[in-house]
C-alpha cells in the first residue's frame, strides 16, 4: 500500500480508501466485515461512511452502514488501526427528510455527531464532512449552475465552522472536510477559517473518474494551491468503468441493474467513451477497472481514492490497482479520448 497524510495533519492514510455505502443494502453485515478484514490486511487504514448510508437512502436502512462498521470495530477491537471519515447530510430534501429537515441549522450538527458516534461505537470521528452544500448549487449530476434568487438559504459559513469547532474542542471529531462542494463554497469556508481563527477544511470529497474530470477545473487549482486534498468518489462511475455493462457480464445485483435511476454514467456519450477506454486498457494488458482506478490515484491533487465493491473479487482487483503505474504513452491515449469526449457524465 502507498500512504500519504491528510492535508495539514500528521494523520497517515492509505492512498486507497474503503467506501462502504452498499453495506446494509447490497451487502450484508457479514460481507461488510469480510471487506474490512481484507482491506485492513492489504494495508487500507481509511474507511469512509455517512449518516445517510446505505444508498439509496431510506428510513428503513438509514445508518445501517455505520452500525456495521461500529459492530466490526467492537468485535475486532481495532479502533486505533483505522481512520474513519463520516458525513452529515446538507441541504434538506425529500430524499433525506427521514434523517432531519433542518440542514445544518440549530442543534443539527451536535445531534448528527452524537448519533454517528453511537452507531460507530467510538468516542471520536477522524474526519467529519458536510455531505453537500446547504445552498442551491449544481451538485449530484447537474452540470451547469443556475442561480436561484429566491433560494431561502442565508450565508452561514462562519456559524457552521463555529459549531464544528465546538465538536473538535469536545473531542468528538478531529478534522473537518467538504463533500460535493464547488469552488465558491470551498474558498468561502477557507476564508472564514482564516478570518475568524476557526477550524480549516482539510479535504473535499467529490466525484472524479475518467468519465467525470470536472474537478480539474477551478477545484484542482484550489486543491493544489490551498492544500485541500481530494477524496475521489465514484472513481469507477457506478461500476461502468469495469466494462461489465458493455461486455454484458454484470451480475444481477450490480448497482445499475438494481437502481437504474442512477443513470448519470449511462448516456450514449459515456458508453462510447467507456468503449474507448476499455480498448486502451486491453491494448496495455490491464483491466479497465485497474486502469481507471490507477488514473485517479496518480493525480497530484488526490489524497485518497475511495473504492467500493459488492464482492470480494471486485475488492481484491480494486485494491490491486495501487500497484498499477500508467506511463506517459498510456496517459496520452487516455487524454486523447478525454479531449475528444470531455466529461461525458452529467
Active-site residues, by number, are: 53
DSSP 176: E
Task: Compute the distance between CA of residue 321 and CA of residue 244 in angstroms, rounded to an integer.
Answer: 17
Spatial separation of the C-alpha atoms in residues 245 and 214, rounded to whole Å? 23
Sort strands 16-19 and 173-179 into parallel, antiparallel or unpaired: unpaired
Cα angle for residues 82, 84, 85 (degrees, 5° grid): 155
Cβ within 8 Å of residue 38, ≥6 positions away: 312, 315, 316, 319
Angle between helices 288-297 and 328-340 (to 10 degrees): 90
DSSP state of 339: H
Q: Which residues make Cβ contacts (< 8 Å) with residue 229, sequence separation at least 6?
A: 4, 6, 7, 202, 203, 204, 223, 301, 302, 303, 304
Amino acid at each position: 500500500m502507498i500512504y500519504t497524510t491528510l492535508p495539514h495533519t500528521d494523520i497517515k492514510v492509505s492512498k486507497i480508501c474503503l467506501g462502504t455505502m452498499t453495506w446494509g443494502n447490497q451487502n450484508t453485515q457479514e460481507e461488510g466485515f469480510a471487506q474490512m478484514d481484507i482491506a485492513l490486511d492489504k494495508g487500507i487504514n481509511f474507511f469512509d461512511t455517512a449518516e445517510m448510508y446505505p444508498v439509496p437512502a431510506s428510513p428503513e436502512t438509514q445508518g445501517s452502514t455505520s452500525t456495521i462498521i461500529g459492530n466490526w470495530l467492537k468485535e475486532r477491537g481495532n479502533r486505533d488501526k483505522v481512520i474513519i471519515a463520516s458525513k452529515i447530510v446538507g441541504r434538506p430534501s425529500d430524499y433525506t427528510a427521514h434523517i432531519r429537515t433542518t440542514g445544518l441549522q440549530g442543534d443539527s450538527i451536535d445531534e448528527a455527531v452524537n448519533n454517528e458516534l453511537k452507531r460507530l461505537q467510538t468516542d471520536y470521528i477522524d474526519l467529519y464532512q458536510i455531505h453537500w452544500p446547504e445552498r442551491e448549487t449544481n451538485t449530484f449530476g447537474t452540470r451547469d449552475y443556475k442561480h436561484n434568487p429566491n433560494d431561502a438559504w442565508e450565508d452561514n459559513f462562519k456559524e457552521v465552522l463555529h459549531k464544528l469547532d465546538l465538536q473538535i474542542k469536545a473531542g468528538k471529531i478531529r478534522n473537518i472536510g467538504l463533500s460535493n462542494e464547488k469552488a465558491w463554497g470551498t474558498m468561502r469556508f477557507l476564508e472564514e477559517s482564516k478570518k475568524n481563527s476557526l477550524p480549516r477544511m482539510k479535504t473535499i470529497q467529490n466525484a472524479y473518474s475518467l468519465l467525470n474530470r470536472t474537478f480539474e477545473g477551478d477545484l484542482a487549482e484550489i486543491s493544489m494551491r490551498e492544500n485541500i486534498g481530494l477524496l475521489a468518489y465514484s472513481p469507477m462511475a457506478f461500476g461502468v468503468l469495469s466494462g461489465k455493462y458493455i461486455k454484458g457480464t454484470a451480475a444481477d445485483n450490480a448497482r445499475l441493474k438494481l437502481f437504474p435511476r442512477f443513470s448519470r454514467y449511462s448516456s450514449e456519450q459515456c458508453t462510447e467513451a467507456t468503449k474507448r477506454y476499455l480498448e486502451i486498457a486491453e491494448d496495455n494488458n490491464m483491466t479497465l477497472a485497474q486502469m481507471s482506478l490507477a488514473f485517479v490515484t496518480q493525480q497530484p491533487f488526490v489524497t485518497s481514492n475511495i473504492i467500493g465493491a459488492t464482492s470480494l473479487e471486485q475488492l481484491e482487483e480494486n485494491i490491486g490497482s495501487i500497484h498499477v503505474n500508467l506511463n506517459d504513452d498510456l496517459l496520452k491515449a487516455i487524454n486523447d479520448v478525454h479531449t475528444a469526449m470531455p466529461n461525458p457524465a452529467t
